[in-house]
Amino acid sequence: PVDCRSSSPVHEEEFCLYLILYYFCLGKQSCNNWLMQNSNYVFGLQYNTKYYYKIGTGDSAREFWFQTPPAIDVDAPYTFGIIGDLGQTFNSLSTLQHYLKSGGESVLFVGDLSYADRYQHNDGIRWDSWGRFVERSTAYQPWIWNSGNHEIEYRPDLGETSTFKPYLHRYSTPYLASKSSSPMWYAVRRASAHIIVLSSYSPFVKYTPQWMWLKGELKRVDREKTPWLIVLMHAPMYNSNDAHYMEGESMRAAFEKWFVKYKVDLVFAGHVHAYERSYRISNINYNVTSGNRYPVPDKSAPVYITVGDGGNQEGLAWRFSDPQPDYSAFREASYGHSTLQLVNRTHAVYQWNRNDDGKHVPTDNVVFHNQYWASNTRRRRLKKKHLRYESLEGLMSML
Ligand SMILES: [Fe+2]
């Protein structure tokens, strides 16, 4: 058993599931009190095991289940869903229903959950209704949470001068196990992936706690055990939509060099209510006095993907810059979600699924090669011994 509340030198937070229970929450105060008294860590779970749990007593008891992930292994297959800016509208429902059919085992959520701050009085009722709305998935599998601007909820006009209060009370993260000092930024390892969650609306410039933590966390990543290095944030560092244009630029200036140095595979963001995927590009030579103003192709750079199209009531971001920049590989203003299927240490199958299709149809479909294992010639020789899938045909045939 691992105590997820204490600092764990071995990153064993994958044993720990934090059950957040919404079922008896009726109002803001009662809900927060109830959650504080009844949320519990579950310790000592086994990998790859189905557990059943019951909420409530007597006739009101309801039973749910969840499946723990496979043990961490360099070739452990696993499927993530990626959802952002979900809200609680008909489009949100469509996104969630499509995701439920995808076979995803866990959701990487890139911020902006309930949009409770958009409703009059903001009394917590919309946080409760959102909890009930997503229960059809969150009761059965983990969602790796990240916050967005709609979680800030700084409302001095309503007497609320603290930030992120409902989010922090309702959606807990195993941050201490990854040596983070804040639940707003943390990391988890799952199957063959190391996932780093960054907070776009917490301090991140040089010497801040988030900057210090990320610097150390990137050194702790072991690609021999977890080949896939994935970063989540809310405001995208690369996006060619007019909406929220360059709002992620300050984080790009702070962290892009590290993403290239450590060969991050994928960076997922939300915030912009449209879908976009970049090529592998970087702009690390840019500074305010250089003439190198444009992103350039860079094999060591991540692919940047914006999935802020979950379905909230603010609508889609229709206006893209014209013409499409060279770094932008695919973009479309439609509601949807993505899936990332890690097949082994070298290959992952990625899809973006548009809700309008009415069924599970991939609209943007890419096979990603791992930035560590697929780009190193020494490991290319190694993988022949280890891998069963030597060709794309072989890979696709087992999907
Ligand atoms: Fe946002």
Judged against a pLDDT cut of 60, whether residue 5 lies above it is answered with no
Q: How far is the CA of 9 from the centre of ligand 1 (A)?
A: 33
Q: Model-level pTM? A: 0.87
Query: Edge-to-edge strands of the sheet including 275-278?
Result: 186-190, 193-197, 228-232, 266-269, 303-307, 275-278, 328-332
Q: Considering 11, 150, 169, 244, which one is annotated as catalytic?
A: 244
* Average pLDDT of span 4-24: 38
Q: How far is the CA of 139 from the centre of ligand 1 (A)?
A: 25
Average pLDDT score, the chain: 85
What is the amino acid identity at position 282?
S
Q: How far is the CA of 4 from the centre of ligand 1 (A)?
A: 29
Q: How far is the CA of 151 from the centre of ligand 1 (A)?
A: 9
Please state, in angstroms and rounded to a whole number, the distance separating the CA atoms of residues 285 and 22: 48
Q: Tell me if the bond preceding 9 is cis, omega within 30° of 0.
A: no
Lowest mean pLDDT among 41-50, 310-319, 342-351, 364-373: 41-50
Judged against a pLDDT cut of 70, whether residue 78 lies above it is answered with yes
Q: How far is the CA of 115 from the centre of ligand 1 (A)?
A: 9
Q: How far is the CA of 148 from the centre of ligand 1 (A)?
A: 5
Judged against a pLDDT cut of 90, whether residue 22 lies above it is answered with no
Task: Please give the span between the terminal C-alpha atoms of the chain, in angstroms, as a whole number.
Answer: 34
Report the interhelical angle of 249-261 vs 209-220 (nearest 10°): 20
Judged against a pLDDT cut of 50, whether residue 7 lies above it is answered with no
pLDDT of residue 227: 98
Candidates 175, 170, 174, 173; CA nearest to 34 is: 170
* Average pLDDT of span 18-40: 40
Delineate the domains of the chain, giving CATH numbers in brackets: 73-397 (3.60.21.10)
Q: How far is the CA of 200 from the centre of ligand 1 (A)?
A: 10
Angle at 278 between CA 237 and CA 112, to 5 degrees: 50
Residue with more model confidence, 37 or 349: 349
Please state, in angstroms and rounded to a whole number, the distance separating the CA atoms of residues 182 and 197: 11
Query: Active-site residue 194, yes or no?
Result: no
